[in-house]
Structure 1
Amino acid sequence: MNSSTYPAAQHVMVLYTGGTIGMQASAHGLAPASGFEARMREYLASQPELVVPQWRFREMSPLIDSANMSPAYWQQLREAVVDAVDVQGCDSVLILHGTDTLAYSAAAMSFQLLGLHARVVFTGSMLPAGVTDSDAWENLSGALVALGQGLAPGVHLYFHGEQLDPTRCAKVRSFGRHPFKRLERQGGGMKATSLPTELTYRQNKQLAKVGVLPLVPGIGAEQLDGVLNSGIQGLVLECYGSGTGPSDNPEFLAALSRARDNGVVVVAITQCHEGGVELDVYEAGSRLRGAGVLSGGGMTREAAYGKLHGLLGTGLDTAEVRRLVELDLCGELS
């Protein structure tokens, strides 16, 4: 379906988290700054040809450089979105966010807001509003216009005229107007036919502890144990190719088995830019499966990390979390 199939946004809540879009010069370089609502109103008033929905503004606290984004802040964002939709009656939310961790936040919120009928759009900019050649206003106004034309319920990432599925993309450039790209990942699970109540957007989530570990030649059980013994509940294991790892290292496999027995959920994704994990193709992958590692299919790092936070924060038992990891909840495996 194209965007015109969906109703136009009528009431948008703009949540400003900080990030480059509203930064101003300080003694130590660009830093998040208050007062962006007035600048936004002034800009939109200067562009009478732009047709955008009615909007209101909320400045999150604290304002942050997105390099300082955290799962605790994601909980604040979820609560702010729920308040905007369920309490204040907004049908859409626009989140202004720094680009460095924007794809992580948008993917994480896709799982934090399952079942939401409103539209949530993330955008930001590579250069601050007001500086020469900034992309700030074109991204902000473009996102508002897109909402006004109608978007599907759920979470979207908008940048430089493109609408991207946040569970399928990543920031691939540190420069220019096109920092985000859809990754050509393949391999997935069946679509979940229903969601446990604990996963729906109105349910409060606990903070979870999730780690990420890329495999490199020579990695041993001691490095893996160091991560697994740090108190994490879930681990994104970035494997080679279609999901292989050091299968001839019995200590490494034993560490993974201990993790499974201790309730740590380990999900394999591929380090490759394209393709996905199929653990049973090679013996080196099937041995990981035998040690309790789950297939992340074609999930990106951002999606797998956000999904584990979403699932582990529900309080569901480990067996149910493991089942849901390999089911497609919001397009992350499609």
Structure 2
Amino acid sequence: MRLLLIHTGGTIGMVKTDAGFAPGAGVVEDALARLITAGEVPTDITIRTLEPGIDSAQATPADWMRIAACIVEEGEEFDAVVVTHGTDTLAHTAAALCLALPGLARPVVVTGAMLPLTEPGSDGERNLRDALQIAEQGPAGVWVQFAGKLLHGGRVRKSHSSAFDAFEADESPLPPILQADAPGLNTLSAQKVGVFTVTPGACWDVLAYIVSHCDGLVLRCYGSGTAPDTPEICAALAKARDRGVPVIAVSQCPEGGMKLGTYAAGQAMRETGVIDGRDTTPEMALVKMHFALSLHSDYAAQCAFLGQNLVGERSS
């Protein structure tokens, strides 16, 4: 069993400085050496450090592709891959890897830490050990290993800003693999994706501006899929449809998902072509929109892509 460990950056590999935590050289390598010496992880592990490293708070879709390309280009000779990543956008990267790696035939396990490996009581060594062990034994697909939990890469989200048990994911009927005849790499092109959260008294002029200037929109609705049906929001959504700007709606609630049309207050969205994201996470909805726009030039095809359950990102 040959494992590839890709260190992209993040808290796990930081050291304390006078200016605060900052990336440290050799931190992950030293932890890996300790784990190998203790016999807690396989011995045949190759480590690659992504340069320049990624501050997850600064991560972009281009960074998702850097990681995916590294997995494809360097990972072919390995049986499994572990990726260390900062926690702020770890869920976005896991979602992106699900869609970027069609036909994935081996485990890709993403992990990180809430406290650097160099700090007393860090969760980093446990997470790194668990991720490497799961990669050696686990099923194919993109997974997140964190705080003793193996989580579906297409449904994971960060749920706590400071606790070690910082991530959660609902169960899925499908594995986190984009089905394909052969392994490959789906690439992203530059896209403008907007996100608008429905709130009481929202400035609908902002929504109108977004649909006039973006290529796709994620609309974060109330509860089970409701939003005001004012003339302003109806006009903005109709404009998006007429411009060929796909819109996917997701719930602001972390549990339960949504179903457009359950209430009359959500009917206007259905009538203007808004796609029902059901219980897709906001992180996956954003990522999925980028891939829909990059892989398909036709509005109808983009909407069809967004409406499918591709990698188990929703429960139905």
Fold conserved (TM > 0.5)? yes
- TM-fit CA distance, 1:313: 1.6
Consecutive unaligned residues of structure 2, counting only runs of 5 or more, are: none
Matched, 1:330 2:295: no
Determine which of 216, 226, 235 is the counterpart of 1:244.
Answer: 226
Matched, 1:226 2:184: no
Structure 2 CA distance for aligned equivalents of residues 260 and 130 of structure 1? 51
Q: How far 1:332 moved relative to its partner?
A: 0.6
- Alpha-carbon separation, structure 2, partners of 1:285 and 1:37: 48
CA deviations on 1:70-90 (whole Å, 9 max, x unpaired) are 11111111111111233xx11
**Unpaired segments ≥5 residues, structure 1:** 1-9
1:24 paired residue among 12, 15, 32? 15
Report what 1:13 is aligned to: 4
Secondary structure, in 3 states, of the residue corresponding to 1:245? coil
- Cα distance 1:184–1:152, how it changes in 2: closer, same or farther (>3 A)? closer
Q: Deviations over 1:182-225 (max 9, x none)?
A: 2589xx9x99xx9689x974243323221211100112430101
Aligned partners of 2:211 and 2:239 also within 8 Å = no
What is the distance in 2 between the residues matched to 1:292 and 1:321? 12
Q: Identify which range, 160-169 or 28-37, moves more after superposition.
A: 28-37
Residue 130 of structure 1 and its aligned partner are, at CA, apart by 2.4
1:70 pairs, out of 44, 60, 63, with: 60
What letter corresponds to residue 290 of structure 2 in structure 1? H
Q: In 2, Cα distance between the equivalents of 1:245 and 1:283?
A: 10
Match of 1:56 in 2: 46
| Superposition pairs of residues 86-125 of structure 1, within 5 angstroms | 86=76, 89-125=77-113
CA distance in 2, matches of 1:200, 1:256: 37
1:143 matched to 2:131:
yes
CA distance in 1, matches of 2:187, 2:221: 32
Q: Which amino acid aligns with 2:99?
A: F
User: What TM-score, normalized to structure 2?
Assistant: 0.92
8 Å CA contact 1:157, 1:163 repeated in 2: yes
Q: Give the 3-state SS of the residue equivalent to 2:24 in structure 1.
A: coil
Report if the CA contact (8 A) 2:6-2:48 is conserved: yes
| CA RMSD across the alignment | 2.3
- Match in the other structure for 1:317: 298
For 1:195 and 1:154, the matched residues in 2 are separated by: 10
Q: CA deviation at 1:163?
A: 0.1
For the residue of structure 1 that corresponds to 2:196, the secondary structure is strand
**8 A contact 2:196–2:218 mirrored in 1:** yes
The DSSP-based 3-state class of the residue aligned with 1:164 is: strand
Deviations 1:282-319 (A, max 9, x none): 11111111112110011011111111112212144221
- Taking the aligned partners of 2:12 and 2:189, their CA distance within structure 1 comes to 30
Task: Please give the secondary structure, in 2, of the residue aligned with 1:126.
Answer: coil
Map 1:208-219 onto structure 2 (within 5 A): 208-219=191-202
Are residues 1:159 and 2:146 paired? Answer: yes
Please name the residue that 2:25 is paired with.
34
Hey, what's the Cα distance between the residues in 2 that align with 1:291 and 1:128?
47
Does residue 162 of structure 2 align to residue 175 of structure 1? Answer: yes
Q: Which moved more, 1:296-305 or 1:308-317?
A: 308-317
SS in 2 for 1:61: coil
Match of 2:239 in 1: 258
> Which of structure 1's runs of 4+ aligned residues deviate more than 3 A?
194-197
Cα 1:116–1:195 shift into 2, 3 Å: closer
More relative contact order in 1 or in 2 (CA 8 Å, sep 6+)?
1
Partner of 2:122: 134
